[in-house]
Amino acid sequence: MLQQESAANGGAVYQPLTRPDAVDHPTAAEEGRAASSTGSSIMTNVARVAVVCLLLSVLLFVLIDSFAYRQLEHLLVEFVSWVRGSGAKGVGLFVGVYALAVVLFIPASVLTLGAGFAFVSAYGLAEGLAIAISAVFVGASIGAVLAFGLARYVFRGCVRRLSESNRLLAAVDKAVEQGGLYINVLMRLSPMIPFTLFNYVMGSSRCRFVDYLVGLGGILPGTIAYVYIGALPASAASGSQGVSGHESALAHATESSTAVVIRHVFLVLGLIAMVGALVVISRLARRALTDALSEDSQHEPLRRDEVEGSEEQDTDKRTT
């Protein structure tokens, strides 16, 4: 059906009338894509919830075991005892176990100390220290990258939604993005910052992956120090066999005067580094918060002008 309208030039223009029932309906393909997208979103959310439940269960188990049973510590000492005489295969497996421990919140200090003891006992001081430091650093780095990726996949969306409604959290998030390299290096230098927890926090934030990866170099001083502490009794315990001998050797390593001095030095340096990181975060967050408030104050007159303009238009329409 056509409707005739008079044009400005006196001619006639015919336009089709829209039928009331001629409403656009989604095609079967569009409905299929929408259903597929909804199903994929549901599966993604289910997977994220499952990962969160798994991580919380593992964390609870580790905490209970650490305070009550210490079975994980005993198993790790047994593993270090096996690595000591397993050659290259033991080094590779050590790296994998260390990475897994980082992801699953398992305290890796026994592995760090044990690496110094096991590899120095097997390969001598110079070569053993080099192998131990490399194995610990590579294992810790792989675990840190895996934890970062897991947190970015599982937790980042939630943190982003929270930051949209919380200016302070958004400012801190932006500060981590801007000063990510400095924050990562300084925090890694502090032995008081839980390594695995920090990995998940950075993955949940806007921290750039490159800054995070380069910042892993901050764990090298602590790695060298604690591997060396573990290597101190290696020569004295070279003749001892079995898990009990290795446990006593590691206990002696942590209680020696040299180990105590090293730990205190790193505690002080770590405290200084942590304070420096907090200063960087607070300054950048304050700047980001100030910028956000400044942008809001600049946009407020524009919004007010828009409201006043719309009110004037409504008034003109009513008068005409």
- The whole-number pLDDT of residue 32 equals 54
Continuous H helices in 155-193: 156-164, 167-178, 180-189
* pLDDT at residue 282, as a whole number: 87
Q: Map residue 2 onto helix, strand or coil.
A: strand
Tell me how far apart the alpha carbons of residues 62 and 93 are, in angstroms, rounded to a whole number: 21
Cα–Cα distance list, 177 to 16, 89, 208, 280, 302 (Å): 56, 39, 6, 12, 29
pLDDT of residue 2: 46
Q: What is the mean pLDDT of residues 140-160?
A: 92
E strand segments, the chain:
2-6, 12-16
Residue ranges covered by each domain of the chain: 88-279
Structural contact between residues 111 and 158, judged by C-beta atoms closer than 8 angstroms: no
pLDDT attached to residue 315: 59
Model confidence at 19: pLDDT above 70: no
pLDDT mean over 60-65: 93
pLDDT of residue 111: 94
Q: What's the whole-number mean pLDDT along residues 142-158?
A: 92
For the residues of 254-304, what is the DSSP string, one character each? HHSHHHHHHHHHHHHHHHHHHHHHHHHHHHHHHHHHHHHHHHHHHHHHHHH
Is residue 38 very low, low, confident or very high in pLDDT (cuts 50, 70, 90)? low
Residue 157 has pLDDT above 90, yes or no: no
Give the count of alpha carbons within 13 A of 160, CB side only: 11
Taking CA atoms, 153 is separated from 142, 157, 158, 179, in Å, by: 17, 8, 10, 22
Cβ proximity of 65 and 72 under 8 Å: yes
Mean pLDDT calculated for residue range 29-54:
71
Query: Residue 290 has what pLDDT?
Result: 84
Query: Quick one: pLDDT at residue 7?
Result: 46
% residues pLDDT > 70 (the chain): 72
- pLDDT for 243-252, tens place per residue? 555 566 666 5
Task: Say how far apart CA 121 and CA 207 lie, in whole Å.
Answer: 40
With a cut of 50, say whether residue 4 has pLDDT above it: no
Condensed to tens digits (0 to 9), the pLDDT of residues 273-317 reads 889 988 988 888 888 888 777 776 665 555 555 555 555 565 555
Q: What is the mean pLDDT of residues 77-85?
A: 91
Alpha-carbon gap, residue 6 to 197, rounded angstroms = 74
Phi and psi, residue 205, nearest 5°: -95, -175
Name, of 20-29, 71-80, 262-271, the range with top average pLDDT.
Answer: 71-80
pLDDT at 6: 46
3-state secondary structure of 13: strand
**Residue at 69: amino acid letter:** Y
CA distance 158 to 154: 8
- State the average pLDDT over residues 224-241: 73
Average pLDDT over residues 99-103: 96
227: CB partners within 8 A, 6+ apart = 112, 113, 115, 116, 129, 132, 133, 136
Asked if the model's pLDDT at residue 230 lies above 50, the reply is: yes
> Do residues 131 and 93 touch, judged by C-beta distance below 8 A?
no
